[in-house]
Amino acid sequence: MLTVRIQSAEGTKRIDLLPQDTFAKLYQKTTEIFTLQSNDGYTLYKEKNKQSPLPRSTSKSIQNAIQHGDMLYLVVERDDILPTITTNYASSPRGIGIKNDPTTTSGPSSSSYSRSYGSNFTNGNSYVAGSVPYGSTHSDYQLSKIDLKEDEVDEQLDKMDGKIERKRDPQLCHHNVHGKCIHCIPIEPYDEEYLQNRNPPIKHMSFRAYIRKLQSASRGDRNTFASLENISCSIKERCKTGHAPWPKGICTKCQPNSLTLNRQPYRHVDNIMFENGNLVNRFLNYWRLSGHQRIGFLYGRYEVYEGVPLGIRAVVAAIYEPPQETSRDGVKLTFPDPHEALIDDLSRRLNIRRIGWIFTDLLPDETKPGSVLHHRGNIDSYFLSAQECIMAGWFQNNYPNVCKYSPDGFFGSKFVTVVVTGDSTGQIHFEGYQVSNQCMALVKSKCLVPTYDSPELGYVKETSSEQYVPDVFYKEKDSYNNEIMKIGRPLPLEYLIIDVPTGFPSDINSRSTFNDSSQLVKTPFSVENRMQIGELQDMNTLANYLNQFQTIGGGSRATTMSTSKSQAFDIMADIHFLLYLAINDIIPFSTNHLDPLLDAIRANDTSGIETWMEGGDWQTIVQVIHSQSPSTLTPMTNDARMDYDTFDQQQSSAQWSCERCTFLNSESSTKCEICSFDKPR
């Protein structure tokens, strides 16, 4: 009996053959085990680089051509032979079709973040973000390789050589300027000595460098392949042996392996950069005004990062604040967010997407006015609490990283976590993190829970009749400096955390996606979901926002066309403002109406923005504001602008503010149009 392994884009499978079997029998069994539609349309190769194809002979035996344990490589030549998907799948924007499983799509153990570390740990509703359901496993979906498309930044890095060039050493290199030796030859991007000798040292190699390392290690043996297997801590469903499901039955084929925690040597994102400081200050204003903590979602893009070989940088362009209940000691997110799909769609049309989440953990230092306490982020405290690790792992499972080198079609995640806290000098500081793939697996299988009184420790649940939990071990040194294995009850979280450098651009004049860095915007548009501090989004807010864009020279037009174009971009390029246009109750804009504007903002086409502002959609909003208070706004001119000087002069005399609800009423009204309160004398 011969056992042959067959590697394909769908994974590796084994086939048992007899020495006298023909090649046609080999192809027939391959078709059956991979559930292909036909025996034709694919070829088996003995070499990974498509060399030595195997024939389909019905008379020739495999005895002399194939040995026991050989690896064969299946290459599909026609996509129509792949298995068809007949179930209902949720379409992912990244090209992965995943089947919803009601038993595994529940949210994390908590939808809240709190410094009480367990007191607010309640079950939350299911939260599915990015059209990628949480809790999906390899058996829940089928992946067609024609749908597999990696991120653009991954495709760029795949085309790069990645090797690190070195200059000629004048003391060690004795060859001419055109020669190379071991002292100046380019080195690989995963070279440990190079990474450690950098200033500052690079603690984690990039994920693409890690892939190059796996590929380099597999070149010596043709029967190995650098595939990336996802970790599973759950029992495999529908075991083929036919025994009863857990807890009545279990076998070695469906039982998950025990897990030994190791510090992950790579990270999927190597740097986090905010486009400018104003967008962060806008987020922190909530804490400054209320003293309450806050959570936001980061929207931006991924780009090549030159600070790490084959590195990836997450660039944050905007922060969206979902519905949440805030307090001084914690935040509880409200699921589901009714506008989540809309904000994701707007972002996609602006060529950005959700890339992470940010939360504050700020406490004012009463002994030093203007300072905040430094109570996390060092070796004497903790970096992320167990509850925060679980939340980060849940988000990362919701946003998997598409990877063509994994038989599952995805591996790890580029979703990042940013903590705003105090540093050792009492100033506000930003710390970036990700959790390891092992942590993602523990969270996905709901094996990890927080401890009650130690934020730096997690706890692996014990096996029960409801759930089988594999043993989780970690290594530490005893009093005799011997390395020993311990069970993860409790578990130090430093094994699960990967720090990511976070900062701001060194060039303060660098261009931003939105108007946060504009000198013309003195009062940004109100942020959504801030009713708790009295920050509303309504027509009065819109009128006040438009009021700050003054004309030059007091006329109805700008003195130069360039000034007009600049102001047109500054007015519209605000993601909170664009979201309000789409969700306001008076005249909501559909995505079809906003498409030309979003295309112009994405392309930085100021002429396109002006053209959209001259259209009927924007003019309708202007007329609504004008009808509420006719003296406040003048009609739009041909260059899509309003005479805001006239607006300033007339606003104070044409309206009066209600003392009860602060609504701005017209001068002729004797009672408030909202609460019927009498006009002050």
Please say if the pLDDT value at position 280 is more than 90: yes
Element (H, E) at 25: helix 23-33
In a domain, 128, yes or no: no
Can you count the helices (H) and strands (E) in the chain? 15, 29
Please say if the pLDDT value at position 137 is more than 70: no
Please give the share of the chain, as a percent, with pLDDT higher than 90. 43
> What is the spatial distance between Cα 628 and Cα 587, in angstroms, rounded to a whole number?
14
- Which of the listed ranges 124-128, 175-179, 472-476 does the model predict with the highest average pLDDT? 472-476
> What is the spatial distance between Cα 269 and Cα 396, in angstroms, rounded to a whole number?
12
679 vs 60: which has the higher pLDDT = 60
Which pLDDT belongs to residue 674?
Answer: 57
In a domain, 370, yes or no: yes
Q: Following DSSP, what letter does each residue of 405-468 receive, concatenated?
A: TSTTSEEEE--EEEEEEE-TTSSEEEEEEEE-HHHHHHHHTT-EEE-SS-TTEEEEPPP-SS--
The model's confidence at residue 12, banded by pLDDT at 50, 70 and 90, is confident
The model's confidence at residue 661, banded by pLDDT at 50, 70 and 90, is low
679 vs 382: which has the higher pLDDT = 382
> What is the spatial distance between Cα 676 and Cα 355, in angstroms, rounded to a whole number?
46
Q: Which residues contact 181 (CB under 8 A, 6 or more apart)?
A: 172, 173, 174, 175
26 vs 547: which has the higher pLDDT = 26
128 vs 350: which has the higher pLDDT = 350
Which pLDDT belongs to residue 518?
Answer: 84
The model's confidence at residue 208, banded by pLDDT at 50, 70 and 90, is very high
Residues 461 and 495 in one domain: yes
In a domain, 458, yes or no: yes
Six-digit token pair at 236? 């495999």
Six-digit token pair at 279? 């967008």
Which pLDDT belongs to residue 517?
Answer: 84
Residues 475 and 519 in one domain: no
Residues 524 and 498 in one domain: no
Give the residue among 146, 145, 34, 129 at the shortest CA–CA distance from 90.
Answer: 129
The stretches of 160-300 forming alpha helices (DSSP H) are 192-197, 207-217, 277-290
**285-299 residue pLDDT tens:** 999 999 999 999 999
Taking the alpha carbons of 479, 483, 488, 494 in that order, is the dihedral positive or negative? positive
For residue 569, the number of C-alpha atoms closer than 13 Å in the C-beta half-sphere is 24
Six-digit token pair at 481? 């400096």
Which pLDDT belongs to residue 176?
Answer: 86
Percent helix, strand and coil across the chain, each to the nearest 5: 25, 20, 55
Domain that holds residue 385: 266-503
Least confident residue range of 441-450, 580-589, 653-662? 653-662
Let me know the angle formed at the C-alpha of 128 by 125 and 133, rounded to the nearest 5 degrees: 120
Mean pLDDT, residues 466-481 taken together: 90
Give the residue among 351, 352, 343 at the shortest CA–CA distance from 322.
Answer: 343
In a domain, 610, yes or no: yes
Residues 279 and 408 in one domain: yes
In a domain, 72, yes or no: yes
Rounded to the nearest 5°, which phi and psi values hold at 38?
Answer: -155, 160
Residues 484 and 534 in one domain: no
Residues 300 and 419 in one domain: yes
Residues 346 and 463 in one domain: yes
Please say if the pLDDT value at position 220 is more than 50: no
Rounded to the nearest 5°, which phi and psi values hold at 170?
Answer: -65, -20
Residues 533 and 663 in one domain: no
Mean pLDDT, residues 131-138 taken together: 36
The model's confidence at residue 519, banded by pLDDT at 50, 70 and 90, is confident
Give the residue among 599, 540, 514, 142 at the shortest CA–CA distance from 300.
Answer: 514
Please say if the pLDDT value at position 275 is more than 90: yes
Residues 610 and 674 in one domain: no
**599-646 residue pLDDT tens:** 999 998 989 998 998 888 788 888 887 776 544 443 333 343 334 334
Six-digit token pair at 77? 């030549």
Which pLDDT belongs to residue 178?
Answer: 84
In a domain, 178, yes or no: no
* Pair 327, 390: CB distance under 8 Å: no
> What is the spatial distance between Cα 13 and Cα 35, in angstroms, rounded to a whole number?
12
What 8-state DSSP symbol labels residue 359? E
Q: How many domains does the chain have?
A: 4
Indicate which CATH number applies to the domain containing 60.
3.10.20.90
Which pLDDT belongs to residue 144?
Answer: 42
Q: Helix, strand or coil for residue 319?
A: strand
Residues 537 and 667 in one domain: no
Give the residue among 428, 435, 438 at the shortest CA–CA distance from 414.
Answer: 435
Give the residue among 397, 375, 383 at the shortest CA–CA distance from 457.
Answer: 383
* Mean pLDDT taken over the chain: 81
What 8-state DSSP symbol labels residue 165? P
Where among 28, 43, 76 does a domain terminate?
A: 76
In a domain, 175, yes or no: no
**417-458 residue pLDDT tens:** 999 999 989 999 999 999 999 999 999 999 999 998 899 999
Where among 76, 110, 133 does a domain terminate?
A: 76
Q: For residue 234, with 0-12 CB atoms within 10 Å meaning exposed, 13-18 middle and 19 or more buried, which class applies? A: buried
89 Ramachandran zone, left/alpha/beta (phi>0; psi -120 to 50): beta
Least confident residue range of 50-64, 117-131, 366-380? 117-131
* Pair 132, 92: CB distance under 8 Å: yes
Please say if the pLDDT value at position 134 is more than 80: no
Which pLDDT belongs to residue 633?
Answer: 41
221 vs 606: which has the higher pLDDT = 606
Q: Helix, strand or coil for residue 608?
A: helix
Q: What's the chain's Rg over C-alpha atoms?
A: 30
**84-118 residue pLDDT tens:** 533 332 333 333 232 333 333 344 433 444 443 33
What length is written for the chain?
681
Least confident residue range of 74-88, 343-357, 554-568? 554-568
Six-digit token pair at 206? 């990039």
455 vs 144: which has the higher pLDDT = 455
Indicate which CATH number applies to the domain containing 363.
3.40.140.10
The model's confidence at residue 654, banded by pLDDT at 50, 70 and 90, is low
Residues 499 and 585 in one domain: no
Rounded to the nearest 5°, which phi and psi values hold at 437?
Answer: -65, -30
- Which of the listed ranges 59-63, 81-85, 381-385, 397-401 does the model predict with the highest average pLDDT? 397-401
Please say if the pLDDT value at position 665 is more than 90: no
In a domain, 215, yes or no: no
The model's confidence at residue 666, banded by pLDDT at 50, 70 and 90, is confident
Please say if the pLDDT value at position 503 is more than 90: yes
Taking CA atoms, 57 is separated from 24, 48, 54, 185, 240, in Å, by: 6, 21, 9, 48, 32
Six-digit token pair at 74? 């299946």
Which pLDDT belongs to residue 557?
Answer: 32
Residues 496 and 523 in one domain: no
Where among 76, 108, 136 does a domain terminate?
A: 76
Element (H, E) at 298: strand 295-305
